[in-house]
């Protein structure tokens, strides 16, 4: 096992068990916009990628997708955000990694304000040097910021703020093909978290620069990151 200096964590399905809250709010989009609800498989695909992209994949126009994102934000801030819980065993893992000198960051395509709030609500904010989320929500970027809309963009943003030298050993931990693809595009090692929402097959397919390491429980992360 490699001894990594920087470890990036996805949020949903890696740090946080969040599916219930996300899907409840996705269903409200379809209800409020009087659209037929997708089947359970398609609904499950809303966990992970940016909400705007998922709505576009389901046939929403640009305008309707932006409206859907606003509806989602409203319901998520009022109720969905409180249906997150940190996976059992992860707090101890984060504590051990920090004590062993690993610099930790969150890299998620969840909206930055939500990512910050969730990490704080889970009471794990003290373990992370930086929380990076998406800022290009529905195509709109805050003034003075570079857009961060996809996983590679968010990862690059986090790495730039954690890296001390070009030789730093970096690993991305996540549970979906988006995490695997982001790691491959940035040339990082990848640890796939099988306890999350994605599949081993998809992560293997999208991590195109090598063979991922897989963990089936949060407790296994310690050995995968620091040996």
What is the DSSP secondary-structure string of 66-112? HHHHHHHHHHHHHTGGGG-EEPTTHHHHHHHHHHTT-EEEEEEEEEH
CB atoms within 10 A of CB 134: 24
**Would you state the structure tokens that stand for residue 93, as one six-digit string?**
């893992």
Class of the CATH domain delimited by 19-82: mainly alpha
Same fold for the domain at 6-17+84-226 and the one at 19-82?
A: no
Note the pLDDT of residue 30.
Answer: 97
pTM: 0.86
Report whether 97 contacts 226 (CB < 8 A): yes
Q: Where do the domains of the chain lie?
A: 6-17+84-226, 19-82
Angle at 184 between CA 47 and CA 15, to 5 degrees: 40
Count how many Cα atoms sit within 13 Å of the Cα of residue 212 in the half-sphere of its side chain: 30
pLDDT for res 1:
47
Task: Give 43-88 pLDDT, tens digit per residue.
Answer: 988 987 788 889 999 999 999 999 999 999 899 989 988 989 999 9
The CATH homologous superfamily of the domain defined by 6-17+84-226 = HAD superfamily/HAD-like (3.40.50.1000)
CA–CA distance, 48 with 11 (Å, rounded to integer): 9
Which tokens go with 92?
């101890």
CA distances from 25 to 36, 74, 83, 138 (A): 15, 9, 11, 17
In the predicted model, is pLDDT for residue 139 greater than 60? no
């Amino acid at each position: 096992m490699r001894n990594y200096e920087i470890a990036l964590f996805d949020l949903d399905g890696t740090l946080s068990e969040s599916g219930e809250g996300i899907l409840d709010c996705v269903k409200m989009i379809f209800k409020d916009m009087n659209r037929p609800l997708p089947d359970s498989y398609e609904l499950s695909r809303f966990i992970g990628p940016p909400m705007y992209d998922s709505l576009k994949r389901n046939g929403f126009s640009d305008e309707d997708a932006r409206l859907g994102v606003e509806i989602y934000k409203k319901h998520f801030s009022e109720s969905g955000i409180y249906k997150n819980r940190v996976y059992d065993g992860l707090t101890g893992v984060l504590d051990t990694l920090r004590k062993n000198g690993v610099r930790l960051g969150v890299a998620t395509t969840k909206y930055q304000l939500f990512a910050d709030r969730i990490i704080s609500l889970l009471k794990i904010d003290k373990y992370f040097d930086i929380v990076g989320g998406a800022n290009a929500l529905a195509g709109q970027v805050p003034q003075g910021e570079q857009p961060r809309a996809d996983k590679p963009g968010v990862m690059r943003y986090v790495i730039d703020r954690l890296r001390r030298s070009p030789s730093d050993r970096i690993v991305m931990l996540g549970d979906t093909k988006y995490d695997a693809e982001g790691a491959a595009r940035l040339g990082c090692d990848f640890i796939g978290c099988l306890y999350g929402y994605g599949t081993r097959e998809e992560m293997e397919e999208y991590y195109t620069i090598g063979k991922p390491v897989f963990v089936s429980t949060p407790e296994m992360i310690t050995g995968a990151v620091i040996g």
